[in-house]
A and B are shown apart, each in its own frame.
Chain A
């Protein structure tokens, strides 16, 4: 086993997801961390590395009583936790620390202890050259490239809606999913228009929740309570804080860089992938992800999903927890994609993919601003 092969030995979400006004954002970080420690059979004193986003590592380490020798506060949006996994792998391999705790939590719905507010920086480039034109958060910004994609590649409104339909199928198999009732393409297209061409059911939920991961050297992974899930490869990148300045409105450059490096560093091919998570803040993201990771040619992902390849029983099960569209989305969803990959590799997912051995989790940060990609396996690497 290579020195940089690390393993997830603890993984858990917050005890509750959804609407949890009885607990603060910081409190949820701790709840997820303590759940992950119990999952691994470790105590707080075993942790010597801390990574988090949204909150600062300082706040998390102090609140939990951790004395870290390594911290990572990389905060590039909802994929930050994929980057933390990658950075933790390098840090553990370099001997900077042995056991890393990565936490996420966000009181996205109840806004308890979030510390948000104020006008922000009105001189940043996005504030000067995008905000004056009436953007009202991600539903009006993340979605802007899609009409260009639809015209250039023939994606239909029905195919876009169908992404949400398929993910609801998965959510229907997951008792923790916020929305579980089946929906049809017509239901999606009949739901309230948020920002044309996006309807309510093509936009993610806004919920409270969190999750935590514990990672250590792969060679130690057999000593823990849970079956080890190895980190086989990874990649990361950023592109632009302004959606209007993306190089290509039909593709995320950050997805391509992160995905290419994740596949190359893990040595896998597309045929090796049994399970895929693509961060779905909105219905177009899985389509961009499928194409930018190379599972589909440009413009073919709408057909690929329509033909049932990503649904239960399909050739490439994707977003098997129901995704941000139906499972939960607290604001920085990447942690939940990682949690589902780990569950699938442990064989404990609510909608388990039989015999899955390799899982890929692709995250997005900001609005096509950043990306991180992690390849997991439950097979001991060479």
Chain B
């Protein structure tokens, strides 16, 4: 696919490798502090809320809401026409940058606070990016 080599892809570090290993197998990994239960992203091997040095990775639900975005109109060889660069609010608390796929890239279709769910893009042999697509709202446990 044309996107495979066009995006600026990350080079993981020892502190982030588990996240990128997770997306490759279809898991969105966040980290939780074993002391204060705080959930954080991007990954780091300690808790930015309390400084505790023991954290555990866990698979997020992959669900969230569209928090904010812009629609870039400057041509980018990795994308076909104008595209949204978005931030999603994950159900577990952290926010992350992403793209919204399976959706018209227009202000009308990209409604703030709409439910989204993770959708993975194999961007290279090493890197799978977590993208998001519109999801049907669900009645979930609190």
Contacts and interface: CB of A to CB of B under 8 A. Distances in A.
Contact of B98 (A133, A147, A193): A133
Given A148-B67, A195-B71, A198-B70, A129 B97 contact: yes
B67 A249 contact: yes
Contact of A134 (B67, B87, B95, B99): B99
Interface in A194-221: 194-198
Given A123-B12, A123-B13, A140-B72, A132 B67 contact: no
Interface string B108-140: 000011000000000100010100000000000
A269 interface: no
Size category of the binding interface on chain B: 35 or more
B52 interface: no
Interface string A93-118: 00000000000000000000000000
A128 B98 contact: no
A129 B10 CA distance: 8
Contacts of A125: 42
Interface SS majority for chain A:
mixed
A140 B73 CA distance: 9
Contacts of B79: 134
B18 to A, nearest CB: 13
Given A144-B87, A195-B71, 5 more contacts: A131-B8, A139-B72, A147-B69, A192-B73, A193-B73
A134 B78 contact: yes
Given A148-B67, A195-B71, A130 B97 contact: yes
21 contacts: A122-B11, A123-B12, A129-B97, A130-B97, A131-B8, A134-B76, A134-B79, A144-B69, A144-B70, A144-B85, A145-B68, A147-B112, A192-B73, A194-B73, A195-B74, A195-B85, A196-B71, A196-B82, A244-B87, A245-B42, A249-B87
A145 B86 CA distance: 10
